[in-house]
A = this chain, B = another copy of it.
Amino acid sequence: MPAFERHVFVCHNNRPADAPRRSCTADGKSELHTRLNQLAKEAGLGNRVRINKSGCLDQCEHGPMVVVYPEAVWYSNVRSEDAEAIVAEHLVGGRPVERLRLADECVNTKICPHRS
């Protein structure tokens, strides 16, 4: 079955500046998404990996957020400069980038050191 080997979702949510929760993008555009896409194509992953835009992934306090399926690897505070490591180490090499992973105790919880 020619489904995606990995499906990467990059949050594009943006809220008004005075919103209580943080936004993953300032204006709904993501240089991180563009860069991941470009690097994945350059690495020959074109049809095997999809770099997708997503709406809010509900981990806002840790954004900009990225989640990679089917493994459900959550990356937090991701910047466009991190795209290279994600593509080379994870999407090509198969090893998640540990330094970018959101701590297990911070995923999908209302109480963690980063949420007030």
User: Which residues of A are at the interface with B, using a C-beta cutoff of 8 A?
Assistant: 1-4, 7, 9, 12, 47, 50, 52-58, 67, 69-72, 74, 104, 107-109
Contact = CB atoms under 8 A, between A and B. Distances in A.
Question: Closest 3 interchain pairs by CB?
Answer: A53-B55, A69-B69, A1-B104
Nearest to A2: B108
A72 B3 contact: yes
Q: Copies per complex?
A: 2
23 contacts: A1-B104, A2-B108, A2-B109, A3-B72, A3-B74, A3-B107, A3-B108, A4-B72, A7-B69, A7-B72, A9-B9, A9-B54, A12-B55, A50-B58, A52-B54, A53-B54, A53-B56, A54-B55, A69-B70, A69-B72, A70-B70, A70-B71, A70-B72
In this complex, the member of A3, A7, A47, A57 whose beta carbon has the largest number of chain B beta carbons within 10 angstroms is A3
A12 to B, nearest CB: 7
A43 to B, nearest CB: 18
